[in-house]
Amino acid sequence: MLFFIETVISGLLAGVMYSLVALGFVLIFKASGVFNFAQGVLALFAALTLVGFLNGTTPFTHIDNPAFAMPAWMAIPLTILVMVLIAILVEKFILRHLVNQEQIILFMSMVGLAYVLEGAGDIIWGSDVKVIDLGLPQGAWDWLLDTHGIYVEKIEMVAAGVAGALVVVLAIFFQKTRIGRALRAVADDHQAALSVGISLRTIWIIVWSVAGVVALVTGVMWGAKSGIQFSLSLIALKALPVLILGGFESIPGAIVGGLIIGVGEKLAEVYGGEVIVAMFGRWFEIDPGIFTATENWFAYVLALVFLLFRPQGLFGEKIIERV
């Protein structure tokens, strides 16, 4: 039983990361109808930039100069500023020119953006694997280990805590502020939003900035676990099944979808083999170890199942229809 709980917890903690990436997608999709293929690369770029500032790396030369190393309280706001700058550039050079274009054209522009950002990250900060040190605690969470015998990494708890806090802040921002309300208005009916004087350009810059901050958190948390490297950008692919589960337009959906996939992966990895053997072992000879490397495929299988039976996702926004 303890082992089961441990599995679920580690699944949830991994799931938080998936949720974060998916959140970046949902925000942008809701506000501009753009499928932001670049969210993963955005996370990579944000993390690279932060590490660059922390280490005092000179851009383009990739040489660390301790004299320029910044403390975290300076590096983090500065990185956020860079993300806002990217948002402004994306609006100015991409979105503004593609209003009213076909979905596929917008999508291709995002693929293009992903490559540009990836290249920029490479050229500016270098392609070697980087270690991020924000002074986050390492090792097991002793209290839980001592009292309940459950092993959980401290850093994973911190990551989950930060992600949770971010979600709460976003929820308040969306529900309670004037800009948040305008964002939801744009998501609902962009023509009407225009007609009451909401500027789509401003709104786009704001959502992309928010997505940039979400990307920064994702990149840092993920990078703290496994180093900051190119593979970070591939977590974007993980967001796709999360979105199919949760619905493309639902923020709670992104969160719950991420958690389900995180837990599902871990449970499948640990117990999947046994279950299959128990079910079909009588007729076939099955290697109980077939459920390995679940993080590579489980989510996609789950997404396929969902596509077959519930294509709007768990939380697909209710389509209000009236006559």
Partner 1 sequence: MDAMAQTEKSPETAAETPPSILSVNNIEVIYDHVILVLKGVSLEVAQGGIVALLGANGAGKSTTLKAISNLLYAERGEVTKGSIVFKGDRVDARSTNDLVKRGCIQVMEGRHCFEHLTVEENLLTGAYTRGNARKEIRDDLELVYTYFPRLKERRSSLAGYISGGEQQMTAIGRALMSRPTMMLLDEPSMGLAPQLVEEIFEIVKLLNREQGVSVLLAEQNTNMALKYAQYGYILENGRIVMDGPAKELRENPDVKEFYLGISEEGRRSFRNVRSYRRRKRWLS
- List residues near partner 1 by CB under 8 A: 99-100, 178, 181-182, 184-185, 187-199, 317, 320, 322
Give Cβ neighbours of residue 19 (< 8 Å, ≥ 6 apart).
163, 167, 242, 254, 255, 256, 257, 258, 259
Q: Residue type at 216?
A: L
Instruction: Enter the tokens of residue 167.
Output: 């979600």
Choose between 178 and 282: whose C-beta lies nearer to partner 1.
178
- Report the nearest approach of partner 1 to the CB of residue 24 (Å): 21
- Report the nearest approach of partner 1 to the CB of residue 186 (Å): 9
Choose between 165 and 194: whose C-beta lies nearer to partner 1.
194
- Report the nearest approach of partner 1 to the CB of residue 183 (Å): 10
- Report the nearest approach of partner 1 to the CB of residue 225 (Å): 36
Give Cβ neighbours of residue 267 (< 8 Å, ≥ 6 apart).
7, 8, 11
- Report the nearest approach of partner 1 to the CB of residue 322 (Å): 7
Residue 74's alpha-carbon distances to 49, 69, 214, in angstroms, are 13, 10, 18
Choose between 26 and 193: whose C-beta lies nearer to partner 1.
193
Choose between 99 and 111: whose C-beta lies nearer to partner 1.
99
Choose between 282 and 322: whose C-beta lies nearer to partner 1.
322
DSSP state of 270: I
Residue 102's alpha-carbon distances to 27, 81, 106, in angstroms, are 19, 31, 7
Q: In whole angstroms, give the CA distance from residue 94 to residue 85.
A: 14
Q: Residue type at 217?
A: V
Give yes or no for a contact between 223 and 47, defined as CB atoms under 8 angstroms apart. yes
